[in-house]
Amino acid sequence: MLELQHPDEREGRITLFVDVVLPLAISKTYSYRVPYELSQQVGIGRRVVVQFGKSRIYTAIILHISQKAPERYEAKYLLDVLDDQPIVREKQLELWEWMSAYYLCTIGEVMNAALPAALKLASETTISANTDPGQGRDELNDKEYLIMDALDISPVLKISDIVKLLGQKTVFPIIKRLFEKGFIQISEELAEKYKPRVRAFIVLNSQFKDPETLPALFEELNKAPKQLDALLAYIQLSRKKLLISKAELLEVSGCGSSALKALVDKEIFLTEEREVSRLAGEEVFLEAAFELSHAQQKALDLIDVAFKEKPVLLHGVTASGKTQLYIRLIEKAMQQNQTVLYLLPEIGLTTQIIARLRLHFGKQVGVYHSRFNDNERAEVWQKMLNGEYKVVVGARSAVFLPFSELGLIIVDEEHETSYKQYDPAPRYHARDTAVYLGQLHGAQVLLGSATPSLESYYNARAGKYGLVTITERFGKAQLPSMQVVSLAEERQKNQVQSYFTGKLLEEVGKALEKKEQVILFQNRRGFTPMLLCRTCGYTPKCIRCDVSLTYHKSTNKLHCHYCGFKEDVITVCPACGSTQIENKGFGTERIEEELSMLLPNARIGRLDLDSTRGKHGFERILADFDEHRLDILVGTQMVAKGLDFGNVSVIGIINADTLINYPDFRAFERAYALLAQVGGRAGRRDTAGKVIIQAYATEHRILKQVLAHDYDDMFMTEVTERKTYKYPPFYRIIKIEVKHKEQSAAFDAANRLALQLRQLLLTDILGPETPLISRVRNYYLHSIMLKIARTGISIAKVKEIVQQAITDFHTNKANKGTIVQVDVDPL
C-alpha cells in the first residue's frame, strides 16, 4: 500500500495540529498533524479524513487548532479535508462538550447522536453501482474506471475494499467524484452531495393558454378521448395550483401514460423536471389569522416580561390554546430575524403542529426527526447551514442542528418521557439540553405543559424559571366531566362486558348515535401480555430476556418487547402437554377486537407502536380519525400526547390501576399526567366532553386529584414525599447499570464497583440491586443508584469521581467482559 508523502519541513513554515472528535466511544480527542498543503483548508467544525489504529479510516470533526504537538504520542498526518465550510458550528461543539461532561459519556458518542449518517463516512461505508448513471464510462479516469470494474464483479464494496484496490489511503475524493457524476450510490451520503429529488411536471404549451384557441384543441382531441380527459383534468387542476406533477395528472385524469405521452409528442403538453423538497408538506402556504383571548394575551404579556430574566414554564390546562401563544412568540422572533426551535416529544405530533405552523409561516418551517432517511436529514441540515429555515420543528434530536441566530426555543409537552434518550449514549434529556442550548445562544426558552414535570414546576416555584398559568380553555370551553367507575362493583352487578363497564358502553353508544368520536386508552400493546397453561402454570418466556412473551394476534406470534425475539404461538404446553392454554390480560389489539364484536357497525382504529410502524403510519391513522373515517380510536399513551380532534366527546380509560400500581417513585406523577392528558382530548371545542375512568382502587388520591383537576395538590403531596425519601427535585440521581453475560460475573462486578464508589464518595449509594427485568438481550443486569444532594456537594466533582472509578474498574482484569452504562437524571 502506498504511503502518503509528506512535505519536508521548511524554514518559516508553521506546523498546525488539530484535535478531532472521532465517532467512537473513546474517552478523549486525538491530535493529528496537518500537511502543509492542507493548512489553509482546516477550520473548526470541518470534517477531515483520519486514520485511527492500524487501518481504520474515519471522518472526524475538528474541535481545536493549535501549533502544539501532543506530548505523549507522535501525531499522524490527517489525510484529507472534506469541507470548504464548517458543517458543525462552534456553539454546537460547545454543546457536545457540555453533554459529554454532564451525561458522563464520550464526545464521540455525542457526535454519533448529533450528526446525520449522511455526514459520517468510515471504512465500513459501502458503495454500489447506480443502475442508470445517465452517461458512459468514457470520461472516467483510470482509478474511477477500476472501481466501476470492481463493482461489476461485486455489487457492494466497502471503502476499506477500495483502499486495498487502489493501494492508497485517500480514496474519499475519488468516491465523491464518482458520486457527483452519478455512477455510484453511497450508503452514508455526504450532505452537500445529496442527490436532489427531481419530479416531472406537466405544463400546457403557451400557444394553447389563450381561451380562444382551446375550442379548436378540444375539437381536435374528440377522436382521442383519453387525451381529452388528460387536458380537461389539467385545466381543472390548474385553477387550484401553479405546478401540476405528472404523477398527479395521471392519477386525477385516469388517462394512462400513453395518452399523456401522445400529448407531449404533439407539443400540447411540455414536461419540465424540477427539484422538489423531500420534506412532506413544504409546498403549503396560506394565511390564517386569529385573535388571542384575554387570558392568552395576559399570559403572552407575562411571558415577555419573564423572558428578560430567565426561562419560562407555561402551565396551561388542556385546550387552553398554548399553540396559538407559541405562534405569536414565533412571529415576534422572526420579525427580529431570529431562528426558532420547536421541540415535540413524539414524531407523530409533528403532523398536526406542522400543518398549523405552515398555515402561518409556509416554507420557512422545517421538520427534523429520526424517521427521515439520510437524504432528508442531510437536506434539513444543509438548509439550516444556509439559513433557509427560520423555524424547525422536531423531536429530541433537533437540539443538535446547526442553528444560527437562535432566538427562541419552545419545548412543548415538556413533561413527556419521550424527551429522554435511553440507548445508546448519550442518555440525554432534550428539555434540559434545550435549556442549556438557550444559555449558549442567549435565546429565550419556553417550556409548556398542562401537567408539568415536578422538577420543572419546582424550579418555577423556586424562581429558577418564570411561571405563567392559564386556567381556562380557549373560547371558554369547559373542562371535561370526569367519572370514576368501580370495576369491582360493576362486576358484582354483572354489568361488565368483556373489559367494558355498562357506563362506558352507554356513553360510547350515545357518542356514536350523535356521530361523535371516542378514544379508548389502554397502556399496553399487543393482544395479551402472556399465555398461561391452566394445568401446570407454564408461561412462554423470551430466550434472551427475563420477561414473558406478549401475544400479537396481527402476526400470530409471541413477541418480546425488549429485544424483538419472536416465536410461534403455542397450542400445547411444552412442559406438561396440556392443551389448556389461556390468554391472560389484555392489550390494545384485544380491546380493538372485543369492541368490534360488541359494536359491529363502528369503525375502529388502533394507535400504538405496532400500528404506526413505517414512515407515515402515525400520520395515516391520525388522518383517518381526523377526517372521521374512524369512529373509535384505541391507543396506548400515544393518544395522550397533545393531539387535537374537535369531534371527540368521550374518552374511556380501560384500567387506571395499571398506571398507579407501578414500582417507581414517579408512578403517581406519571399516572396523574397520563390521565389528565388523555382526558384532555375530550370536548375540546363546543362541548364539555366526558371521561370515564375504570378502576378498582376508586378511592386512590391520584384519581381524586385527577377528577378535581387539582395539579397543585398532586404536586404538594408528591414533593413532600420526594424530600423525605431523597428523590428529585431535592436530590440528583445517577444510575449505573452493570451488565455481563454470566449471572455470577455480573453480580460480582456490580459489587466491586459499588464498593469502590463507597470508598470514594460520601453520598448515598444504593445497591447493587437486581432490576424487575433482570436479563435483557442475554445480559444479566444489576443497578447502582447514587443520590446526590443539590446543596453542600459539587455534582461536577461527584461525576468526575464516578468517571474515574469506572475507568479504574475497566483496568481490572476481573471485570473483563463487563459493560457499565451511566444514566444521569434517569426517568
List pLDDT tens digits, range 8-30. 444 557 899 999 999 988 888 99
From the number of C-beta atoms within 10 Å of its C-beta (0-12, 13-18, 19+), residue 684 rates as buried
Beta pairing partners, 771: none
Domains of the chain: total: 6
pLDDT value of residue 791? 85
The answer to whether residues 623 and 507 belong to one domain is yes
Cα 824 from Cα 827, distance rounded (Å):
9
The answer to whether residues 393 and 305 belong to one domain is yes
Cα 284 from Cα 296, distance rounded (Å):
27
Instruction: Flag whether pLDDT at 689 surpasses 90.
Output: no
Establish whether the linkage from the previous residue to 426 is cis, with ω within 30° of 0: yes
Tens digit of pLDDT for each residue in 410-461? 999 999 999 999 989 999 999 999 999 999 999 999 999 999 999 999 999 9
The answer to whether residues 394 and 418 belong to one domain is yes
| C-alpha cell read off for 86 | 464548517
The answer to whether residues 459 and 362 belong to one domain is yes
Cα 827 from Cα 434, distance rounded (Å):
17
Q: Which of 240-254, 306-320, 602-616 has the highest mean pLDDT?
A: 306-320
CA 498 to chain centre: 36
Asked if residue 537 is part of any domain, the answer here is no
Pairing state between β 779-789 and 731-740: antiparallel
Kindly state the DSSP code that residue 122 receives in the 8-state scheme.
B
Cα 718 from Cα 452, distance rounded (Å):
13
pLDDT value of residue 489? 95
Hey, what amino acid is at 525?
Answer: R
CA distances from 750 to 235, 299, 423 (A): 73, 50, 20
Domain final residue pick, 187, 205, 221? 187
The answer to whether residues 349 and 491 belong to one domain is no
Say if residues 514 and 525 touch (Cβ distance below 8 Å). Answer: no
Question: Average of pLDDT values for 555-575?
Answer: 91
Q: Half-sphere exposure of residue 53, counting CA atoms within 13 Å on the CB side? A: 9
Instruction: Flag whether pLDDT at 524 surpasses 50.
Output: yes
End-to-end, the C-alpha distance of the chain in Å comes to 51
Cα 677 from Cα 640, distance rounded (Å):
5
More confident residue, 715 or 674: 715
* CA nearest to 742, candidates 681, 814, 664: 814
Cα 154 from Cα 174, distance rounded (Å):
18
pLDDT value of residue 124? 64
Cα 380 from Cα 402, distance rounded (Å):
10
CA distances from 331 to 67, 181, 324, 394 (A): 46, 42, 11, 18
SS3 annotation, 290-333 = CCCCHHHHHHHHHHHHHHCCCCEEEEECCCCCHHHHHHHHHHHH
CATH of the domain at 314: 3.40.50.300
Instruction: Flag whether pLDDT at 352 surpasses 70.
Output: no
Classified as helix, coil or strand, 217 is helix
Instruction: Flag whether pLDDT at 134 surpasses 80.
Output: no
Tens digit of pLDDT for each residue in 717-773? 999 999 999 999 999 999 999 999 999 999 999 999 999 999 999 899 998 999 989
CA distances from 760 to 244, 363, 763, 801 (A): 69, 55, 9, 7
From the number of C-beta atoms within 10 Å of its C-beta (0-12, 13-18, 19+), residue 652 rates as buried
Asked if residue 540 is part of any domain, the answer here is no
The answer to whether residues 303 and 390 belong to one domain is yes
Residue with cell 423556586: 462
Pairing state between β 339-343 and 269-276: unpaired
Domain final residue pick, 433, 454, 476? 476
* CA nearest to 693, candidates 668, 656, 659: 656
Instruction: Flag whether pLDDT at 277 surpasses 50.
Output: no
Instruction: Flag whether pLDDT at 296 surpasses 80.
Output: yes
Confidence of residue 173 (pLDDT cuts 50, 70, 90): confident
Asked if residue 2 is part of any domain, the answer here is no
The answer to whether residues 470 and 519 belong to one domain is no
Instruction: Flag whether pLDDT at 576 surpasses 80.
Output: yes
Alpha helices in 725-771 (DSSP H): 743-760
Question: Average of pLDDT values for 220-249?
Answer: 81
Across 198-202, 263-267, 408-412, 814-818, least confident range: 198-202
R_g (Cα) of the chain, nearest Å:
30
Domain final residue pick, 720, 748, 781? 720
CA distances from 818 to 616, 749, 781, 821 (A): 39, 7, 10, 10
Classified as helix, coil or strand, 624 is helix
Asked if residue 806 is part of any domain, the answer here is yes
Tens digit of pLDDT for each residue in 353-385? 777 787 788 888 898 877 777 667 878 898 999
Helix (H) or strand (E) holding 262: helix 257-265
pLDDT value of residue 686? 61
Establish whether the linkage from the previous residue to 424 is cis, with ω within 30° of 0: yes
Establish whether the linkage from the previous residue to 729 is cis, with ω within 30° of 0: yes
pLDDT value of residue 636? 85
More confident residue, 608 or 710: 710
Asked if residue 4 is part of any domain, the answer here is no
Confidence of residue 614 (pLDDT cuts 50, 70, 90): low
Question: Average of pLDDT values for 31-56?
Answer: 90
Residue with cell 409556509: 362
pLDDT value of residue 723? 96
**Mean pLDDT taken over the chain:** 86
Beta pairing partners, 340: 391, 408
Instruction: Flag whether pLDDT at 781 surpasses 90.
Output: yes
The answer to whether residues 330 and 381 belong to one domain is yes
CATH of the domain at 815: 3.30.70.600
Confidence of residue 800 (pLDDT cuts 50, 70, 90): very high
Beta pairing partners, 128: 156, 185
Q: Is the dihedral of CA 495, 500, 504, 506 positive or negative?
A: negative
Confidence of residue 197 (pLDDT cuts 50, 70, 90): low
The answer to whether residues 360 and 453 belong to one domain is yes
The answer to whether residues 327 and 389 belong to one domain is yes
Asked if residue 412 is part of any domain, the answer here is yes
Q: Which of 139-148, 234-243, 396-405 has the highest mean pLDDT?
A: 396-405
Share of the chain above pLDDT 90, in %: 52
pLDDT value of residue 360? 80
Question: Average of pLDDT values for 587-591?
Answer: 89
The answer to whether residues 487 and 471 belong to one domain is no
3-state helix, strand, coil in the chain (%, to 5): 35, 25, 40
Confidence of residue 349 (pLDDT cuts 50, 70, 90): low
Asked if residue 282 is part of any domain, the answer here is no
pLDDT value of residue 121? 64
* CA nearest to 24, candidates 107, 80, 94: 107
Task: Give residue 428's domain range.
Answer: 294-476
pLDDT value of residue 684? 53
More confident residue, 827 or 205: 827
The answer to whether residues 114 and 132 belong to one domain is no
| C-alpha cell read off for 218 | 378540444
Helix (H) or strand (E) holding 201: strand 197-204
Cα 255 from Cα 233, distance rounded (Å):
9
Instruction: Flag whether pLDDT at 639 surpasses 80.
Output: no
More confident residue, 126 or 380: 380
Length of the chain equals 827
Instruction: Flag whether pLDDT at 283 surpasses 50.
Output: no
Pairing state between β 80-81 and 156-158: unpaired
Classified as helix, coil or strand, 411 is strand
Asked if residue 556 is part of any domain, the answer here is no
Cα 553 from Cα 550, distance rounded (Å):
10
Confidence of residue 542 (pLDDT cuts 50, 70, 90): very high
pLDDT value of residue 3? 36
pLDDT value of residue 285? 35
Question: How many Cβ atoms are within 10 Å of 697's Cβ, its own excluded?
Answer: 16
Question: How many Cβ atoms are within 10 Å of 643's Cβ, its own excluded?
Answer: 24
Question: Average of pLDDT values for 388-394?
Answer: 93
State the virtual CA torsion across 349, 354, 360, 365 in degrees, nearest 10: 130
